[in-house]
Chain A
Amino acid sequence: MSEQNTFRYKPFEQGVWGVLHAEWKLKTRTPLTIRSGAKAAFQQDSQERPKGRGLAPKLVWEKASPLLQKKDKKYSEIADFYYTFKAENGVLSCDYHIPASSIRGALRDSAIARKVEFENRALFSLMKKDKAVKQDENDTSASAQTLADIEKQIETAKQQLIEKRNGWYAILSLFGIAFNPSEDPENPLTWAGRLCIETNINQPENTQVTINDQQVDVKGGPQNIPRTVSLRSPVDRTTQSAKAAGGGLHYWLELPAGNTFTVKLQIANPTPSDVDLLDFWLREIEKGRLSFGALQSIGRGKVQTAEQTYALFVSPLAKYAQDLKSYPEVKFDHNQTDPLADFWQGAKLRFEQLKTIIEKG
């Protein structure tokens, strides 16, 4: 391997000298749907009649399964919003939640879609070498070619990272990668990411669900967000009727437009390309090009930034330390008993100020 093709990146080789805390309060501009596979039970009307719709809607969360398994089919499945369980003080509870992985995935995918040419997007998706060989077990020439293709792909990938002609370097240096763990440990295409994401969606308790224009009480289950019922009825192209079988009318719960949730992004050792990515994502969010959750094809998941806060914490020896002194000081807020709480030097910044500081460095 020539020196030109040697790519070496170790994000924490110099240790951790700084952390950027970004907090975005995002307001849903269109409904937000985050799924988990969980279902509740829903009915439009208390009795099945040839006509009439939505006359007595009902949603059942507790003990929904028995209702859904009944042969009379009075209740239909409704896809619930994502929720998690927690045990606190001996009590089990559940809350609706936006998994951080959902946000992370949307951010990563949007960056790849807009900063990497189509022809290079699969570059860092690699078939395992042992699987490649097994697939061509009966054809040794094909397996040899497959291995050669993989080696060539790895070299091309490294070259793109070295040349930084597209967004791969910026994206992978922030998100991390586990491309080829079995190769040379001195020059692996594997490193940890520097981005950590948290979300918070808690809102005042809401025991009701909106169905069309009606409010319906729901007993039990998570109640920490407002919810609406939405539905979709695929139409058969040859008859222009609702599909009678094979995946027809279906319902789901979503967070309506006009509600807020918080995304916290923590970036270790922030670089100018990280700040460029933040800038890019903020622009994409405002233009409606970056959406979150499911059903983006029907416009779900568009948000706008209601509030942004940034706090940069650096070691006193870091290159930005001096610059930060001219900005409002902020203490590291992890918790009040943290012995390292005062170790970092921190400043509260607006985004433009953050850009200036980081790009200057």
Chain B
Amino acid sequence: MEKHKTMEKHKPNPFDFVPFPNDSEPDLRTISEWLSVSYERATGSLTVQIEALTPVHIVGKQDTNNPSNDDEIRITHSAFWRSGGKPTIPASSIRGTLRSFIEAATNGWVSEITPYYKQERDKRQVGFMTIDAEDELKEGDVVDGDLPKMLPKAFRPKDRADGKIDLGSFLFGFVAGESAAKGRVQIEDAPISAKLDDSGQWQIPDIPGKALMGGPNPSAKTWWYMVPSGIRKRTVFARGRNQTIVDFLGSQFRGRKFYYHQAPNACLEYYTTKWKPPKGKKVESFPIECLPPKAESQSFQISFRELPLPILYFLIWALQPGKNFCHKLGYGKPFGYGSIRFHIVNVDVEPALDLPGQEVPPLEILEDADGYAWKAADFAKSDIASLLHMSSVLALARILYYKEPLQQIFVWPTFDANGFLPIVYDSEVRSALVAKEISNGFPNLLDLDEDEARELAEEIASMRRKGQPIKPALHFDVYQEAAEGYDDIQKRTLADALGA
């Protein structure tokens, strides 16, 4: 793909997507079928510790400067979450990290999704639904009924008549409609007795008033979170008159979002010295109390019940995917915080059934549970390969690749003409369509295929309005592919991530 030459180099965006594939759907089986993966089934527990690769922070109490005006409010300190007075990484955070990863690696259901985003003045001009959830709409909430549901149907958890569920649901449980299945994995909190770093050396970039990026804010009118499907005109009142602008419509969410690893201090320096904040704001930072790099949590248990051995091996792999393939957990992920490794320090396994004659299954792979024994070729031939969606695993491997020294910096697009802003006018889109020979114009709505959408976005990004770019961060892939260092990211292989 040829990069648009006139686009200036920028840093890549801090997150990327594991795409929802067009050519395959989740592997769904009944509980009996999942159990039948093998008649050798185990019950037991893994004793695990979390090692911080970059500082880890779980938000507890956050102090502010308490100004009278909300536009001036700043966080002055963020303390680590405590349970019973002790710093703790909550089990729900660990479980969420693991389940998100497993759902992506197996091309499974999306178990947690906001059902709709309502239209909101100054925040979201076009509301949309993600799943069939009309009964959840509250009175007064407005969504655009002409837009499709943004989560592809195949990935929505469903109370199916055949009782089939995905692997994530088999492991972690499932509730949908009148159906429910108890999970087979229990995860404990990870308490911390190591000394936390509250020296102030670890800081999160921020601006007074609202959060730096206002939190993830998926929009139905740009191609940032959404796969492009077309464009639509809309009339707005701006600068004292009615103007026709263009919404860039999507057919579905791009995929599951994961954050890249990066060095927090380098990232912070970039935000405070080079990044352009919203007009009138200055990037500052606040200190966070962290589990520092190389420090570990106390050990905690991940218990499992009646898992066929290949699925147990898969769970172990999901915890320790590779030498250079690491998870992220907690607060500050976009800024490099929360890169971790799980270390399995003990495995306790017994037959799933406590009945006479049952034997402990062979522990071949479990003898090296804390090792990273997967070579790429062996991996593809292993028992767990049949549970994986390999193109999704490759996408995960590229995003969650971790190798020191962490040199690549990832930052948000800026809040000016070089990033998400501004809106795009009908006349500009018409020029771009003509320039790319896509169309001579459009009455109201125009469908676009993937290539056409890409060309349109590249053309718009190369255009100038009063010398300023027009919305380079319109199309996610176009923006990333033009970023400095993104070529190297795309060259990462699964073998690199496995590291064996």
Contacts and interface: CB of A to CB of B under 8 A. Distances in A.
A287 B333 CA distance: 35
A50 interface: yes
B185 interface: yes
A52 B136 contact: no
Contact of A234 (B90, B112, B210, B353): B112
Interface string B85-119: 10000111001100010011000001111111110
Given A49-B64, A239-B225, A299-B301, A113 B306 contact: yes
Interface in A220-243: 228, 230, 232-241, 243
Contacts of A196: none
Interface string A270-284: 000000000010000
Contact of B60 (A213, A238, A240): A213
Contact of B61 (A210, A212, A236, A297): A212
Contacts of B61: 53-55, 212-214
A173 interface: no
B81 A52 contact: no
A234 B96 contact: yes
B173 A297 contact: yes
A289 B256 contact: no
Interface stretch (B67-75, B263-271, B429-437, B461-469): B67-75
Contact of B303 (A53, A114, A246, A288): A288
Contact of A289 (B32, B209, B303): B303
A54 B62 contact: yes
Contacts of B301: 288, 299
Nearest to B286: A51
21 contacts: A31-B84, A50-B70, A51-B74, A55-B61, A113-B305, A212-B61, A212-B79, A212-B81, A233-B92, A238-B218, A239-B114, A240-B15, A243-B112, A243-B113, A243-B114, A246-B115, A248-B114, A280-B354, A298-B92, A298-B188, A299-B300
A333 to B, nearest CB: 33
A301 to B, nearest CB: 9
B253 interface: yes
A302 B74 contact: no
State the majority secondary structure of interface residues on A: loop
B63 interface: yes
A280 B356 CA distance: 13
B275 interface: no
Contacts of A212: 60-61, 79, 81-82
Given A52-B73, A246-B114, A237 B91 contact: no
Interface of B: 15, 31-32, 35, 43, 45, 59-64, 66, 70, 73-75, 79, 81-85, 90-92, 95-96, 100, 103-104, 110-118, 130, 133, 136, 138, 150-151, 172-173, 183, 185-189, 209-211, 215-216, 218, 225, 253, 255-259, 300-301, 303, 305-306, 333, 348, 352-355
Given A237-B103, A238-B225, 14 more contacts: A50-B209, A52-B75, A53-B61, A237-B112, A238-B151, A238-B256, A245-B114, A245-B115, A246-B113, A246-B114, A257-B84, A296-B186, A297-B187, A299-B300
A302 B45 CA distance: 13
A78 to B, nearest CB: 16
A299 to B, nearest CB: 3
Nearest to B226: A238
* Closest 7 pairs (CB-CB, A-B): A299-B188, A298-B91, A241-B216, A246-B115, A54-B61, A239-B216, A52-B64
B73 A51 contact: yes
Contacts of B59: 53
A215 to B, nearest CB: 10
B269 to A, nearest CB: 23
A246 B15 CA distance: 24
Contact of B84 (A115, A234, A256): A256
Nearest to A117: B353
Give the interface centre of B61, B62, B110, B185 by most chain A CB atoms within 10 Å.
B61
A235 B112 contact: yes
Given A237-B256, A239-B225, A289 B43 contact: yes
Nearest to B351: A114
B462 to A, nearest CB: 29
A197 to B, nearest CB: 21
